[in-house]
Amino acid sequence: MIEQAKLLRVFTLIRLLKQGRHTLNQLARLQDCHPRTIRRYLKLLEEVGYHIDEETQGRGYVYLFETDPEKPAFFSAEETYVLRQAVAGLEENNPLRESLSRKLYQTSELVPLADELLDMHQARVVQQLAEALRQRCRVRLVRYQSPHSGTVRDREVEPLGFTDNYAQLNAVDVATGQTRTYKTRRIEDVTLLDIACSHAATQEQLDVFGLSGPAVELVELHLTARAYRLLVEEHPGARAFVLPTVVNDAPDLRYVFRGEVRSYLGIGRFVLGLPTEVRVVQPATFREFLREKAGQARW
């Protein structure tokens, strides 16, 4: 699994470099590793034919060199197929055969392959979780990347079911006994454990922020366009509770969220992350919760 994780990180690095310039430290944070590890991966990419450029001044951005941004210097899929056929026809002892074969695999097909590999990885994670649901056994989510705490660690959970077309897993966190939502793309690997689940799959209902609780509270928020986009991106189920609106004293607040939540923790994290782009309309108890949390900040 260690080698597989390394391979996945290399493909993820290729995709990040294709998206635009990043500093070495930014790439390390996104990959949750040391900058020296990124440096080794970059050297590996150069050895297999990628041209890596790094600014020597300013912030020291790292990026993939392309002669024309509109026309990347890679072969098309059709060109690659023809060239591979030609290379395959070379004598096996031809000294150029191995080199040409290796470089042909560094074509434009490889970047889609990086995305495809991530999709395949997610599919395998979902298959393992589905098997755990069938067996009703606990699992270990290996190196789960929490979008809220920013931590990367293993989580032992009891799966309850999938939501949002397998994009999220509802599960009971064994350490806390609470029901949480885990994004399947943030799971590096899954280990099935020989421990039976003690929670029924329908035991607790979750709100659109993935949290459970005994009480249901109606919350109303006014959102900017950016806050709306982030809300539906992070919590797709919230889309059903959002409508366009007009707020006379704040024209930038163009959307209203009106939905029931079972805990202030999930929606609270979202609002505290966008304090200038979300207005709490109701209830007053939610405002008090936010003020208390903001007062605990270590800024």
**pLDDT for residue 165 is more than 80:** no
Question: Do 89 and 129 share a domain, yes or no?
Answer: no
Judge whether residue 70 has pLDDT over 90: no
Is 116 a residue whose pLDDT tops 50?
Answer: no
pLDDT, tens digit, 9 for 90 and up, residues 133-148 = 888 999 999 999 887 7
- Please say which residue of 196, 227, 256 terminates a domain: 196
Give 84's pLDDT tier (boundaries 50, 70, 90): low
Alpha helix positions (H), the chain: 2-19, 24-31, 35-47, 77-88, 97-104, 110-135, 225-234, 264-273, 284-295
Q: Is residue 210 part of a domain?
A: no
Q: How far is CA 123 from CA 5, 7, 187, in A?
A: 15, 17, 11
Residues 225 and 290 in one domain: yes
Average pLDDT, the chain: 78
Domain boundary among 162, 196, 230: 196
Cβ atoms within 10 Å, residue 41: 21
* 100: in domain: yes
Q: Does position 66 have pLDDT exceeding 70, yes or no?
A: no
Mean pLDDT of 273-297: 93
How high is the pLDDT of residue 226? 93
CB 188 within 8 A of CB 5: yes
Examine the domain organization and report whether 103 and 128 are in the same domain: no
Angle at 99 between CA 94 and CA 104, to 5 degrees: 120
Residue written as tokens 């941004």? 69
Cα distance between residue 129 and residue 137, in whole Å: 10
Number of domains, the chain: 4
Give residue 268's pLDDT band: very low, low, confident or very high (50, 70, 90): very high
Q: Give the Cα-Cα-Cα angle 22, 154, 132 (nearest 5 degrees).
A: 115
- Whether residue 266 lies inside any domain: the answer is yes
Which is higher by pLDDT, 249 or 185? 249
Q: What is the pLDDT of residue 133?
A: 85
CATH assignment at residue 276: 3.30.70
CA–CA distances in Å: residue 103 to residues 139, 269, 274: 40, 47, 46
Q: For residue 10, give the CATH number of its domain.
A: 1.10.10.10
What was the pLDDT predicted at 151?
A: 80
This prediction's pTM: 0.41
**Tens digits of residue pLDDT in 10-62:** 777 877 777 677 888 888 888 888 888 888 888 887 776 677 777 655 566 77
Residue 256 is assigned to a structural domain of this protein = yes
3-state secondary structure of 172: strand
Is 269 inside any structural domain?
Answer: yes
The CATH number of whichever domain residue 131 belongs to comes to: 2.30.30.40
pLDDT score for 106 = 46
Look at residue 31 and tell me if it is in a domain.
yes
pLDDT at 146: 82
Contact between residue 26 and residue 35 where contact means Cβ atoms under 8 Å apart: no
Q: Report the pLDDT value the prediction gives residue 104, as an integer from 0 to 100.
A: 52
Which pLDDT belongs to residue 201? 58
Q: Supply the Cα-derived Rg of the chain in whole angstroms.
A: 24
Is 258:223 a contact under the CB 8 Å cutoff? no
pLDDT tier at 101 (50, 70, 90 boundaries)? low
pLDDT, position 5: 64
Q: Mind listing the pLDDT tens digit for each residue in 192-243?
A: 999 999 876 554 567 888 787 777 889 999 999 999 999 988 887 788 788 8
Q: What is the pLDDT of residue 45?
A: 79
The answer to whether residue 32 sits within a structural domain is yes
Examine residue 71 and state whether it is found in any structural domain, yes or no.
no
189 and 225 share a domain? Answer: no
Q: Which residue has the tokens 């929606």?
A: 267
CB-based contact 240:295 (threshold 8 Å): no
Please report which confidence band the pLDDT of residue 120 belongs to, taking 50, 70 and 90 as the band edges: low
Q: How far apart are CA 156 and CA 173, in angstroms?
A: 6
Q: How many CB atoms lie within 10 A of CB 194?
A: 7
Domain range enclosing 27:
2-64
